[in-house]
Structure 1
Amino acid sequence: MENTPSFVVIYGRRRVGKTRLLVEFSRGKKVFFRTFMEGTKESQVKSLAGELADFFNDEVFLSFSDWYPLFKYLSGKINEKTLLVFDEFTYAVKSDKGILSTLQRAWDHELSNKPVMLVLSGSLMGMMEDEVLSHSSPLYGRRTAGFRLRPLRLFPSLRFFKDFTEGLKFYMLLGGIPAYLIIASRYKTVGEFVEGEFLTPEGYFYDEPYIVLSELRELKTYFSILSAMATGRRKPSVIASSVGLEGRRIYPYLETLIRLGFVERELPVVGKERRGLYKISDPMLMSWFSLVYPNRTRIELGTMTLDEVGETLQKIFSFRFEEVSREFLIELNRTGKLPFRFTKIGRWWYKGEEIDAVALNEKEKEVLFVEVKWEDLSEGEGRGILRDLERKAELVGLKGWEKSYGLIGKRVEGKGELRDEGWLVWDLKDFKRFGK
């Protein structure tokens, strides 16, 4: 940390690891670390003043009852490189939006002249974007650095687990949230984990969406929307109908969920379709709305068994394995282990036909079509899938392009023979080998 003053903003969804990152960054530095919680403005100011009094061993801090004189006096105490961390800053904003203009004033006139790094972090994504980062925020233009902390990707997540295949299943259920992966790593099997953490009222994940989605108003409506998506309803009109909303009224809800990173709008990677489909992009929410939400009464009664959600688990794995396989292809692309470098990847669908992954280099007119199956496949089954993939690829309409065809499965017998025939074939052994 240099003497040049800096103003850093870090944000990301709950449990993604912001506080842990800041704690690690703080090591070996002179740091004042304050984590805000729910409270009134008066209690927030009083609590912050008390912590500053302890940190600087100066009881004058206790005499302040408003933000600006407190920040002004704080600035006068900084004479050497100091890190100021205001963790979960959005709770201070919730208690009093006036802290934004007050902090802006303190930064402009006092703190920016000091050898200080000020870090604001927050988990209430909407509030961070609207109140701290937006053009209309008093703090706009002050930050010298900032980023949105995102979940871990596939292979870093798998390092939490000793068993590769079980680790992959955990990742498909939970995504790359470190706090979730740490809890999952205590279990030997996914079955034990689901039974202990999803299907019991005392489980860690039993009420987790209520915490993750707590900043949303009309929570019942959002839950109904996410539940509809988890059961395969992906068109806006169908989602709206299942929730009981008029068609166009669904879009503000969908846009909010997209902005917060919980839902994704998907368009075919090739074609003129612009209406799009919507899906849950947060793996934990997908798992919860599939496993817990429709079964809460029986879970509360203690009569829900793991066997009864076995088929649902397989549906989750099948759905998520497509997404994980696209991550795998992106890693292969990054390391130059594909026939060409693609610049775009996604799904394709049209009139009941679908291809799980289509990767394109539009400049060179090269394309890779890949089918994904969460199954153990024989050589004959694999060949049949690849030949049908060739048929579907013709429907995409990329005439004159150089085409390649691939298959990803849990286990593919005879993949060497299929490769000798010119197909690209991978299974979990290739995932494991690549991840080492």
Structure 2
Amino acid sequence: MFIGRNQELTALNKLYQEDSFQFAVIYGRRRIGKTSLINQFLKDKRAIYFTGLEEKALENLARFSDAIHAYEDPSYLDGPIFASFEQAFKYLVHLSEKNDRLILAIDEFPYLAKAYPPISSMLQSYIDHYFKQNKLFLILCGSSMSFMEKQVLGYKSPLYGRRTAQFKLKPFSLHDAEDFFPQLNKEEVFELNAITGGIPLYLSLMSPEKSLRDNIRNNFLTTSAMLYAEPMSLLNQELREPASYSSIISAIAAGASRQSEISTKTGIASGALSPYLDNLIDLGIVEKRVPVTEIDKARSRKTIYTIKDGMFRFWYTFVGKRVSFIERGITEPILDYIMKQLPHFMGPEFEKLSQEYLWSKLFDPDLVPEPFVNLGNWWGPDPKEKKQIEMDIVGFDDQKLNGYFGECKWKNEPISADILKTLIYRSSLFPAAKKNYYLFSKTGFTDKCRHLAQQVDCHLITFDMM
């Protein structure tokens, strides 16, 4: 059953209805659902579908030939191979002129381009001289985000400026995941979506009939389960020196956030660490963050690194360092620890959800008087109390006249007035003339907090409202 991606599917079908050449680029991390989206789009449409593999050019050409011949005769199994990719594309020109609407979908295009580097320039030539004159619908898809962004979409690419649409598939949001599990309550879905990183394939492994504890046991703490081995499997597929990358992720999961701290924990020289971190960022596993007030700066001394991918963050927080116990079948104490620490793990996820909520209300004047241009976390010194502090939500409008300040608490207790008082005090560190306050709570607010919120016009938002 296909779930989600309604926006992307609608856009693809709209392009299909256009009476002209189309070139859509679809990319995103592995398991994100790219192939499922393409297959759903191709339903009830005649198409040539081909997947590039990590093999030599001749083997890819043979399978590309098979895909083209199967388009003409679905019962076709084996037959002649085109003499070259050039001959294959000449035949595609013939097919596209003969048919009213031909779709050519090339999945895992980076593998094909690695096996046969001239393919991008060849596509450019055929797009410019032939395909633009007919109704070919070309789809290039890939899991290597850096390749797709630089070698397909980048300005140095032969294909630059020729695509008519691009879709970078993101992990499922909470609302997407709710469609996966209509029988579960919102909190249960939020937790499952967090530990799987919102990846559709991983979500499909979770059973709505089982408790969160049982789903974690069956999918993360069982040695035969896919997710038990998934992080190292992905690192082995994508990177050389997977052990070094695993050490870096482990260090970040253990609290090392600055480059110098990661270097100390891993033993990798600080200067040599940058390429590793860049590769992990390209894969969407790690993210580089700065305080929201320094987003527009070319460099920041306050740069930190965090694990962006939810499944990797969960695995390296709870599973990786306990592999020896799991291999021996000692899982119940680990589960006890995970369930006790899960609210702490969910805290950053709730911060992200709260920020996304405000972005979704950007043009709601009742909640956001003037649209902000930047919104995110902030950390830095408090010159009055002479200590380092962190704030969950800080944002400003274009003129920096309106400031937006928020605190998020994922706890089974109501937010007290003291939390709001601290937020008000910390907002005084910023010069915005008009300050707007927001408290986000899993469970609610105390009466004193509600009273103070009314006085300072603070918006009180519970998880159920989001």
Who is 2:148 aligned against?
128
Who is 2:63 aligned against?
47
Q: Is the 8 A contact 1:90 1:124 kept in 2?
A: yes
Asked if 1:36 is matched to 2:52, the reply is yes
Task: Report matched runs for 1:2-151 at 5 Å.
Answer: 2-57=18-73, 62-78=80-96, 79-80=98-99, 81-151=101-171
Q: Matched residue of 1:147: which SS?
A: strand
Q: Is the 8 A contact 2:66 2:78 kept in 1?
A: no
Give CA deviations for 1:249-286 in whole Å, capped at 9, x if unaligned. Answer: 22222222223322222211236881211111111111
Alignment RMSD (CA, Å):
2.5
Who is 1:357 aligned against?
393
Answer with 144-153 or 351-360: which moved more: 144-153
Cα deviation for residue 122 of structure 1 reads: 0.8
| Number of equivalences | 427
In structure 2, which of residues 182, 188, 193 is the aligned counterpart of residue 171 of structure 1?
Answer: 193
Q: Matched residue of 1:37: which SS?
A: coil
TM-score, length basis structure 1: 0.89
Who is 1:369 aligned against?
405
Asked if 1:383 is matched to 2:406, the reply is no
Partner Cα separation in structure 2 for residue 290 and residue 323 of structure 1 = 18
Cα deviation for residue 230 of structure 1 reads: 1.2
Q: Matched residue of 1:29: which SS?
A: coil
Q: Matched residue of 1:405: which SS?
A: strand
Who is 1:319 aligned against?
348
Cα deviation for residue 84 of structure 1 reads: 0.9
Partner Cα separation in structure 2 for residue 324 and residue 61 of structure 1 = 53
Cα deviation for residue 241 of structure 1 reads: 1.4
Partner Cα separation in structure 2 for residue 156 and residue 74 of structure 1 = 38
Partner Cα separation in structure 1 for residue 94 and residue 232 of structure 2 = 42
In structure 1, which of residues 364, 384, 392 is the aligned counterpart of residue 426 of structure 2?
Answer: 392
Structure 2 unmatched runs, 5+? 1-15, 382-387
Cα deviation for residue 6 of structure 1 reads: 2.4
Asked if 1:274 is matched to 2:290, the reply is no
Q: Matched residue of 2:441: which SS?
A: strand
Partner Cα separation in structure 1 for residue 465 and residue 23 of structure 2 = 44
- Paired amino acid for 2:226: Y
Answer with 241-250 or 186-195: which moved more: 186-195
Partner Cα separation in structure 2 for residue 350 and residue 135 of structure 1 = 37
Q: 1:424 to 1:309 in 2, by over 3 A?
A: same
Q: Is the 8 A contact 1:52 1:61 kept in 2?
A: no
Task: Report matched runs for 1:130-279 at 5 Å.
Answer: 130-161=150-181, 162-184=184-206, 186-213=208-235, 214-270=237-293, 274-275=300-301, 276-279=303-306
Q: Is the 8 A contact 2:27 2:142 kept in 1?
A: yes
Partner Cα separation in structure 1 for residue 200 and residue 366 of structure 2 = 28
In structure 1, which of residues 264, 282, 295 is the aligned counterpart of residue 322 of structure 2?
Answer: 295
Q: Is the 8 A contact 2:420 2:453 kept in 1?
A: no
Q: Is the 8 A contact 1:15 1:178 kept in 2?
A: yes
Cα deviation for residue 59 of structure 1 reads: 9.6
Q: Matched residue of 1:107: which SS?
A: helix
Query: Once the two structures are aligned, what percentage of the paired residues are identical?
Result: 32
Give CA deviations for 1:289-338 in whole Å, capped at 9, x if unaligned. Answer: 11221122222221122113234433311232222221222223344441
- Paired amino acid for 2:204: I
